Amino acid sequence: MTIAANSGEPARGRWRSQAKVNICLRVVGRRADGYHLLDSIFLPIDLYDDVRIEVHDIRAGAQTRIDLRTNDPAVPTDETNLAVRAARALFEARGIGATVSIDLHKRIPAGAGLGGGSGNAATVLRGLNDILKLGLTTVELQQVGLQLGADVPFFLAGAPARVRGVGEVIEPLGHWPAMSLAIVVPPIQVATPWAFDRYREAVPVCTPPAPSEAERLAEGAPPDAGLLVNDLEQVILPAFPEIATLKSRLREVGATAAVMSGSGAAVVGLAPSATAAETIAAVLRSEVPRGLVHVAAIPGVG
């Protein structure tokens, strides 16, 4: 194994870390260990964090020291941060240690269901593999990433996909229409573990339809209000009425369909055109001044 930073010079790089939306999320079962099995459609969007990494003092068998800095006080900088855990997991997998500095400039809100933390972890894995010339394949990086979080493997693939299981089954979509989305994130956070714990209590037995909405979308059914569904809304919307209100408002001001992304709090509105998406966003910006409103253009596939 060749490690670039063994020359004595620090290895460094800068990358963009992408967000995603779920436009469909069905809970289709549970494993014996309690983890939920999902069937979902993931779309990467043009909203990014910036990640800078510098690595030096790399030695086989050494301890790894990681210093993470961020502009967002809501984001932890200790071992609970997925970017920190990603760097440590990769070095442990290769049997090496180093001193690592990570500078994380956040634009993707935390606790929004947009995969910001998972995307950061994937970016750290990919970035370290690149600058240190570790030679790991995407599949090998995904295996490391799955230990960190269910969404991390998707970000290492980085294309529209049907994602199943606990995140390990990623099927790139061969065909997908170009879409314009208006995405609204209210100034609240929803903890993903809480959301799934509440769902487990409320829905003790999963009885998904066959075929699921995600399967139909993956097979080419046009995205519409009947297919943009999220099972977690059953427990999250009653607990967070602000999210339910935003979902209704998106439809009222022109979205053809609206759905919560992931475990929230982001809500995604499907617009009939790019111009309509901008108009919808302008209305919601005035109504949610402390939140984030983003217009995303999803390029077509196939």
pLDDT digits (tens, 9 = 90+) for 283-298: 999 999 999 999 999 9
pLDDT > 50? residue 114: yes
* Domain spans in the chain, listed from the N-terminal domain onward: 4-172, 179-298
The closest alpha carbon to 36, from 203, 148, 160, belongs to 203
Could you tell me which residues come within 8 angstroms of residue 55 by beta carbon, excluding any fewer than 6 positions away?
Answer: 5, 10, 11, 12, 98, 99, 100, 101, 128, 131, 132
CA 123 to chain centre: 12
pLDDT at 209: 74
Options 20, 49, 106, 231, the catalytic residue = 20
Kindly report, residue by residue over 143-184, the tens digit of the pLDDT: 999 999 999 999 999 899 999 999 999 999 999 999 999 999
Given CATH 3.40.50.720, say whether it is the number of domain 179-298.
no
Catalytic, 49? Answer no
Q: How confident is the model at residue 207 (pLDDT cuts 50, 70, 90)?
A: confident
Determine how β-strand 36-60 pairs with β-strand 65-70. unpaired
- Same fold? 4-172, 179-298: no
Given CATH 3.30.230.10, say whether it is the number of domain 4-172.
yes
Amino acid (one-letter) located at 47: L
Options 39, 49, 106, 151, the catalytic residue = 151
Q: How confident is the model at residue 6 (pLDDT cuts 50, 70, 90)?
A: low
DSSP 57: E
pLDDT > 70? residue 3: no
Catalytic, 20? Answer yes
The closest alpha carbon to 129, from 208, 13, 234, belongs to 13
pLDDT at 4: 52
pLDDT at 81: 97
Q: How many CB atoms lie within 10 A of CB 73?
A: 8
Tell me what the mean pLDDT of segment 252-272 comes to. Answer: 97
